[in-house]
Amino acid sequence: MESADRLGPSLPTYLSWDERVRAHRCFAIHYRPLVRQLTRGGYSFQDSARGYAELEIAGGTPPEPFPHQAEALAAWRRGKRGVVELPTGSGKTLLGILAIREARRDALIVVPTLELVAQWCLVLERELGIAPGAIGGGSFEIRPVTVCTYASAYRHGERFGDRFGLVVFDECHHLAGEGYARIAECLIAPYRLGISATLEREDGRHRLLEQLVGPLVYRKAIPELSGEYLAGYRVHTLHAELSPSEREAYRSARSRYLDFARGQGIAMSSRGDWRRFLFAASRGEEGRAALDAYYEQRRLAFSAQAKFDVCAKLLNRHRGQRVLIFTNDNATAYEVSRRLLLPIITHQTLVSERRKILSRFHDGTWPFLVTSRVLNEGVDVPSAGVAVILSGTASVREHVQRLGRILRKQEGKQAVLYEVLTRHTAEESTSQRRRQHDAYR
């Protein structure tokens, strides 16, 4: 950086001297404050970091935003950095398009899945009249507007960190993870927009987004948009009973696990307690047995035999509709698929097969689809109107994202979410915890 030495005592702390290139260095994320400081200080400098240009948009008039989208855009426009929290199906992608039109800079969109890469590419072509580049799943094509997965941005971000003036982080709560935070650091983009349906992370790291993307500038919850901009919805809780042998096995496993925990003075009432339990369990054979017992009682509650029958009855009731079936773990998902001969998508499903399954789900050839967690967020399945949650964690985010899969507005659509719980098991309290959200009140 030319003349940085002249900054003297005002040298920003994020700069460090690199003897090898005989210049000051900083992370790409500091490009904007650095340029601002040099400009405001009246320094003459040569900017050879910037590798992006003004974006020419050939497409016609911008789409008319809904009121909540217009308000979110206005809030973001003030600093052209910030995070917006909007429910799934409320038009987050369109907000990203409006931000690209507003910023008029080469833009990178970072998304969690390959399905979303394809989905964003279609919308960009339709709304902006440009052919976007794509990075991920074997593609590596950089264009003025490019869509990239978080995984690819993590691996290759340093190769194109200078190429974009705007970055849109879709489902930006992923960015706050330990590894992915690096993506934001290696991009110079001065303009940044983060969008998410469920910003808050249980580990609290969502607070990092302020530094990586910008402050939370706008937020709207599901109940505020339900009916007018999102499909109306109902939530039903159904119960399945353990069989006598399952009940006995459940009681036995649960008391083995809890007796050990209590014996260690662990109440099992907080996240800290869980860590203490794991630590205690790792120190001997008795502990290992207690840990096994914990998994056994959880497995019995999550995949009680009666749940498969309840699931079949629900599918029977909703024949002719598109139904998504969610489980907490892959083993249960594959068990549902085997018993009911239903297509399935898990993290083990290859991209090509995943596309085929989703395509057949969309066109109604395979109207029922089983998944564990990979479809929790991001994938647009507008035709899905029914979700069956056979099992899940206590995570509010996961539960809201699963509800979000069926909320995209369609003419006459009334979405239904079923939560199937095994009666008299810990699953009932897990359900209460994950329902601590406006959407379920």
Binding flag, residue 278, other proteins (CB under 8 A): yes
Residues 346-405 that bind other proteins (CB under 8 A): 348, 353, 356, 365-368
We find the least distance from the C-beta atom of residue 166 to other proteins, in angstroms, to be 23
Q: Which two tokens stand for residue 350?
A: 């290859």
Cβ-based nearer residue to other proteins, 168 or 310 = 310
Binding flag, residue 91, other proteins (CB under 8 A): no
Q: Which of 128, 151, 172, 281 binds other proteins (CB under 8 A)?
A: 281
Cβ-based nearer residue to other proteins, 226 or 337 = 337
We find the least distance from the C-beta atom of residue 33 to other proteins, in angstroms, to be 21
Residue 138: Cβ-neighbour burial (10 angstroms; 0-12, 13-18, 19+): exposed
Q: Which of 249, 289, 351, 426 binds other proteins (CB under 8 A)?
A: 289
Cα separation, 250 vs 3, in Å, equals 71
Residues constituting the chain:
441
Helix axes 114-128, 92-103, angle to 10 degrees: 50
Q: Phi and psi of 193, rounded to 5°?
A: -130, 130
Cβ-based nearer residue to other proteins, 36 or 338 = 338
Q: What is the secondary structure of 403-439 as a DSSP string?
A: HHTT-S--TT-EEEEEEEEETTSTHHHHHHHHT-SGG
User: 40: number of CA atoms within 13 Å, CB side?
Assistant: 7
| Residue 133 · residue 147 · CB < 8 Å | yes
Task: Output DSSP code: residue 395.
Answer: -
Binding flag, residue 302, other proteins (CB under 8 A): no
Cα separation, 45 vs 58, in Å, equals 33
Mapped onto helix, strand or coil, the DSSP state of residue 34 is helix
Binding flag, residue 250, other proteins (CB under 8 A): no
We find the least distance from the C-beta atom of residue 312 to other proteins, in angstroms, to be 5
Choices 112-120, 330-338, 393-401, 404-412; region in contact with other proteins by CB under 8 A: 330-338
Cβ-based nearer residue to other proteins, 224 or 335 = 335
Q: Which of 36, 262, 275, 338 binds other proteins (CB under 8 A)?
A: 338
For residue 107, how far is the Cα from the chain centroid? Answer: 20
| Residue 311 · residue 303 · CB < 8 Å | no
Binding flag, residue 285, other proteins (CB under 8 A): yes
Q: Which of 308, 326, 418, 440 binds other proteins (CB under 8 A)?
A: 308
Q: Which of 87, 194, 343, 385 binds other proteins (CB under 8 A)?
A: 343
Q: Which of 210, 224, 292, 428 binds other proteins (CB under 8 A)?
A: 292
Binding flag, residue 320, other proteins (CB under 8 A): yes
Cβ-based nearer residue to other proteins, 320 or 412 = 320
Q: Which of 56, 64, 178, 411 binds other proteins (CB under 8 A)?
A: 178
Binding flag, residue 259, other proteins (CB under 8 A): no
Contacts (Cβ under 8 Å, ≥6 apart) of 199:
83, 85, 172, 173, 206, 209, 216, 219
Residue 277: Cβ-neighbour burial (10 angstroms; 0-12, 13-18, 19+): buried
Cβ-based nearer residue to other proteins, 160 or 218 = 160
| Residue 375 · residue 393 · CB < 8 Å | no
Give me the residue label for tokens 């509709």: 321
Cα separation, 149 vs 167, in Å, equals 12
Q: Which of 283, 359, 363, 436 binds other proteins (CB under 8 A)?
A: 283
Residues 158-177 that bind other proteins (CB under 8 A): 158-159
Cβ-based nearer residue to other proteins, 104 or 205 = 205
Binding flag, residue 207, other proteins (CB under 8 A): no
Instruction: Note the residues at the interface with other proteins (CB under 8 A).
Output: 20, 154-155, 158-159, 178, 278, 281-285, 287-289, 292, 295, 308-309, 312-313, 315-316, 319-320, 330, 334, 337-343, 348, 353, 356, 365-368
